[in-house]
Amino acid sequence: MTALERAVEKAGGQTSLAKKLTLDSAVDADRSDGAPRVYTQSHVWNWLQTKAPANVCRKIERLTGVKSEDLRPDVFG
């Protein structure tokens, strides 16, 4: 099981992780225009096929406890 799969499981599924990331982004207002980023289940599915974006890994870590270093060792390792 990959680190992202563990994070999805801890979050309660792909849709749940996407919703939690969206709520977290609303708090951060992480876009340059100040609007929150909306994440969907399809974002999470795509990341499972490739890699989670580096700018999302810290949020996933904060929400699930799965380390950014495990999610993206090429960036945070």
Whether residue 75 is predicted with pLDDT greater than 90 in this model: the reply is yes
pLDDT value of residue 77: 84
CATH architecture label of 3-76: Orthogonal Bundle (1.10)
Nearest C-alpha neighbor of 14 from the set 46, 58, 56, 53:
46
Cβ–Cβ under 8 Å, residues 60 and 5: no
Domain ranges of the chain: 3-76
Element of type H or E holding 48: helix 41-49
Q: Two tokens at 3?
A: 């680190």
* Whether the predicted model's global pTM rises above the 0.85 cut: yes
